[in-house]
């Protein structure tokens, strides 16, 4: 087997250490896993240059799902890499070919100015350059192989990428959030339950699917390569079971997002206390942001189940 390499690229989305993309090289072929946003594309191309590779050698651009901190830069990166094929979940592919609905809904949420600041321009991608991958599909990269497994829970259009040659798996948001700045006093992992497709049981099953691959490491979009998969999985299971409980309690009672968020914050504080972690003001601001998104997702699920 020819030489392989893997680079973790900090996309500096909002601030350093929040979102990563990966450059996987096998022989004279390369693949990007995740693109972050249009603003991150120069960083991705700089990583390619650092490996002394040309954009024409990029065989694949891969996005685990179409949330914009993962796929917002796909059209710009595809323009820069003329021979690349974009690999996506079947439910994600159509939004990459025609991103108009995705962009319109995000602009409503963020406002035009904030959207442009975060994500830049997102353009359609030629359907002939987009390939949908079924559960269990495999593609060749040089003389290695990448295999794709569908993982619902965070989103219905999500997959993970098993890289057996590198003994790792690229997990997108399936295997939670492990921000480097929150790991100073011990491991702190938690899931993303953001709107609109969150399903706790499916998310737990997807965590187990990651573990079942038996890889030495996992490469998380948020953030970096980790090797304590069972420790992270145990924390994720606890959070996901709590999420199920919060949704069940809220169904039929019209519990507010504020109530759900309050429960999440209380659980986080207990977790931090149990682990002996010390968080500063910036840590807490980061957690409040993600807890707010998580609470919105749980409130959305409870509202749907109450209807």
CATH number at residue 105: 3.60.15.10
For residues 42-55, give the mean pLDDT.
Answer: 97
Please count the CA atoms within 13 angstroms of the CA of 273 that sit on its side-chain side.
6
Residue 128 host element (H or E): none
Q: Give the end of a domain, one of 178, 209, 233.
A: 233
Higher pLDDT, 238 or 284: 238
> Quick check: bond before 281 cis, omega within 30?
no
Longest dimension (CA), the chain: 59
Q: Label residue 46 exposed, middle or buried (CB < 10 Å: 0-12, 13-18, 19+).
A: exposed
What percent of the chain lies above the pLDDT cut of 70? 96
When the pLDDT of each residue in the chain is averaged and rounded to a whole number, the result is 92
Residues 203 and 176 in one domain: yes
Q: Kindly tell me if the per-residue pLDDT of 212 is higher than 70.
A: yes
Residue for token pair 């931090």 = 272
Q: Residue 78's pLDDT is what?
A: 98
**DSSP-derived secondary structure letter, 177:** B
If asked whether residues 46 and 135 sit together in one domain, one would say yes
Same domain, 257 and 224: no
Q: How many C-beta neighbours within 10 Å does residue 109 have?
A: 9
Residue 187 CB contacts under 8 Å (≥ 6 apart), including other chains: 178, 228, 231, 232, 235, 275
Is the pLDDT score of 255 beyond 70?
no
Q: Is the pLDDT of residue 185 over 60?
A: yes
**Are 105 and 219 part of one and the same domain?**
yes
Residues 73 and 17 in one domain: yes
- Do residue 214 and residue 248 come from a single domain? no
What confidence score (pLDDT) does residue 202 get? 97
Q: 151 and 255 share a domain?
A: no
In eight-state DSSP terms, residue 38 is: G
What range does the domain containing 43 cover?
A: 4-233
β-bridge mates for residue 29, sequence order: 26
102/160: higher pLDDT: 160
pLDDT tier for residue 228 given thresholds of 50, 70 and 90: very high
Q: Same domain for 207 and 300?
A: no
Domain count, the chain: 2
Task: Specify the pLDDT at position 23.
Answer: 98
What is this structure's pTM? 0.94
| Bridge partners, residue 31, by sequence | 24, 60
What digits encode the pLDDT tens for the residues 128-140? 999 999 999 999 9
Same domain, 203 and 268: no
Q: Report, as an integer, the average pLDDT of 222-230.
A: 98
Per residue in 155-170, pLDDT (tens digit) is 999 999 999 999 999 9
Say whether pLDDT at 111 is over 90: no
Q: Looking at residue 1, what is its pLDDT? A: 40
Q: 111 or 145: which carries more pLDDT confidence?
A: 145
**Which of 180, 200, 233 is the endpoint of a domain?**
233
Same domain for 112 and 201: yes
- DSSP secondary structure string, 212-248? HT--S-EEETTTEEES-HHHHHHHHHHHHHHHHHHHH
In sequence order, which residues have a C-beta less than 8 Å from that of residue 107 and are 6 or more positions away?
Answer: 115
Task: Indicate if 160 and 175 belong to the same structural domain.
Answer: yes
127 and 245 part of one domain: no
Last residue of a domain, one of 209, 233, 257: 233
């Amino acid at each position: 087997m020819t030489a392989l390499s893997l680079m973790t690229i900090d996309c500096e989305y909002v601030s350093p250490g929040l979102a990563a993309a990966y450059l996987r090289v096998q022989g004279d072929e390369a693949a990007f896993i995740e693109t972050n946003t249009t603003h991150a594309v120069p960083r991705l191309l700089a990583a390619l240059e650092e490996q002394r590779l040309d954009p024409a050698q990029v065989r694949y651009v891969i996005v685990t799902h179409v949330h914009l901190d993962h796929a917002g830069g796909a059209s710009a990166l595809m323009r820069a890499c003329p021979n690349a094929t974009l690999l996506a979940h079947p439910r994600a592919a159509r939004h990459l070919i025609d991103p108009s609905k995705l962009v319109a809904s995000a602009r409503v949420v963020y406002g035009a100015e904030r959207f442009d600041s975060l994500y830049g321009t997102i353009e359609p991608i030629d359907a002939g350059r987009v390939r949908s991958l079924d559960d269990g599909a495999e593609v060749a990269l040089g003389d290695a192989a990448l295999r794709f497994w569908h993982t619902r829970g965070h989103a219905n259009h999500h997959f993970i990428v098993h890289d057996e040659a590198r003994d790792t798996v690229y997990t997108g948001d399936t295997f939670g959030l492990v921000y480097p700045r929150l790991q100073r006093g011990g491991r702190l992992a938690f899931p993303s339950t953001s709107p609109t497709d969150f399903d706790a049981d499916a998310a737990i099953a997807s965590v187990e699917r990651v573990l079942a691959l038996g890889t030495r490491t996992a490469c998380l979009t948020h953030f970096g390569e980790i090797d304590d998969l069972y420790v992270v999985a145990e924390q994720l299971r606890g959070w996901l079971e709590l999420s199920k409980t919060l949704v069940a309690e809220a169904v039929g009672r019209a519990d507010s997002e504020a109530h759900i968020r309050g429960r999440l914050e209380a659980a986080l504080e207990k977790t931090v206390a149990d682990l002996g972690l010390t968080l500063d003001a910036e840590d807490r601001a980061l957690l409040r942001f993600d807890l707010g998104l998580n609470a919105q997702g749980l409130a959305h699920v409870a509202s749907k189940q109450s209807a």
